Amino acid sequence: MQVPIYYFTVEGISSSVFESQVYAYVSSLRKNNIPVKLIIGQRYKARASLKKLSKLRREPNTEFLFLPQKLNYAKQAKRLAKRLPDKKLAILHCRNIEAAYIGWLVQQQKPNIRVLYDVRGYVEDEMRYFEDSKGEKQYTEMNKELFHSPIFFNFVSERLRKVYEKQYQIEIKNYSICVSAYNDTIFKPYLTEEIDIAERPKLVFVGGSQSYQKIESLVAMLEKQGTIDFTVVTNKKVNIPSANTTKFLTGLTPLEVSNVLDSMDYGILYRSNEPFNEVATPTKIAEYWGKGLKVIAINSAGAYTSILKEKPFLGYVFADEKEYLNRELFKIETAEKKKIASFAKANYSLSANYMKYMLLYNKLLNKTKK
């Protein structure tokens, strides 16, 4: 593909998904000799690693667009437009709603820019969950305009696409489905025949520390069970005074997280059934599978729930804590891990997503109207 791609995000480098989703994907394009420039919208007052910031600023084809906390979208669109070609055809791949809205304003100024809105989640419902009525109203207005605009879309799940089609009364034709994939250059399975099936199974949680992750509930449940070695891995430190046997790890690099998963048997998550959770494809699940771990989901695995029920070799979905506690777990053998990891690489890896995005890029270049 000779047409340049500009990947634009406004989540910044301190986002929990920057390494695993943004930078990993851009790196995969570059390794395949696809001309791509990464434009990182970075809030002025956001906490960010100065070392990482400095390293990225020295990197060719990576730029920063420094932003205030509250965005004037029209103003930022004018700033972004100056960094894009005036006449030459180019793709602007916008991650998430704010980046996409800025991108749509740019396209109206420069019709040579073709916009892809990468829809990462049900943001209106997430604002409802956090009781942010102002944010909910703002995102609703923005998405209403975006979903009726002549741009292209990627959704992390088919369920998310259907939610938005119903909410905004529109049939979306120009789209792809690419899940929140794991980086298969880092999260590779560690396969060894030296597994002692008499050992206690090892279970891990990897993810954010938001309230809906229910980490405190997981710790209480697993310590009550008392037959599992449990480790919690988060970006920010989690303080649970009642924890006695749980191991907590904080601020690890993706490679360090991958090394932790080498010794694990199961990866767990505990999600409530809010709509924004139900349409999600949590990256942690893909990473667990990529390492050959079975997934344990309490209540819901988001859009992966039906897949787990259809393919039980990938893990289990338990309706509640009581149902989980009634299930005895065993060590996962190497043959099982290999089967899980192979399935994950074929379906939920960056390598698998890469080709889906390429097909959508080509479609985007050949068609301008929905």
Let me know if residue 145 belongs to a domain. yes
Beta-carbon contacts of 72 under 8 Å, excluding residues fewer than 6 positions away, are: none
pLDDT tens for the chain, 370 residues long, are 689 999 999 999 988 788 888 999 999 999 989 999 999 999 987 778 888 899 999 999 999 999 999 999 999 999 999 999 999 999 999 999 999 999 999 999 999 999 999 999 999 999 999 999 999 999 999 999 999 999 999 999 999 999 999 999 999 999 999 999 999 999 999 887 677 777 899 999 998 888 888 899 999 999 999 899 999 999 888 889 999 999 999 989 889 999 999 999 999 999 888 899 999 999 999 999 999 999 999 999 999 999 999 999 999 999 999 999 999 899 999 999 999 999 999 999 999 998 899 999 999 988 754 4
Claim to verify: residue 46 and residue 165 sit in the same structural domain: yes
Both structure tokens of 280: 């999600």
Claim to verify: residue 159 and residue 172 sit in the same structural domain: yes
Claim to verify: residue 219 and residue 174 sit in the same structural domain: no
Instruction: Give kind and range of the element (H or E) at residue 259.
Output: helix 254-261
Nearest to 317 by CA among 351, 350, 282, 290: 282
Claim to verify: residue 142 and residue 215 sit in the same structural domain: no
**DSSP assignment string, 142-183:** HHHHHTTSS-EEEES-HHHHHHHHHHHT----SEEE----B-
Kindly report the pTM of this predicted structure: 0.89
Let me know if residue 298 belongs to a domain. yes
Let me know if residue 231 belongs to a domain. yes
Beta-carbon contacts of 21 under 8 Å, excluding residues fewer than 6 positions away, are: 95, 180, 181, 283
Let me know if residue 70 belongs to a domain. yes
Residue 149 burial (CB count, 10 A): 16
Number of domains observed in the structure of the chain: 2
Claim to verify: residue 339 and residue 358 sit in the same structural domain: no
Claim to verify: residue 90 and residue 138 sit in the same structural domain: yes
Let me know if residue 195 belongs to a domain. no
Let me know if residue 289 belongs to a domain. yes
Domain that holds residue 53: 5-180+349-366
227-265 burial, b for 16+ CB within 10 Å, e for fewer?
ebbbbbbbeeebeeeebeebebbeeeebeebbebbeebb
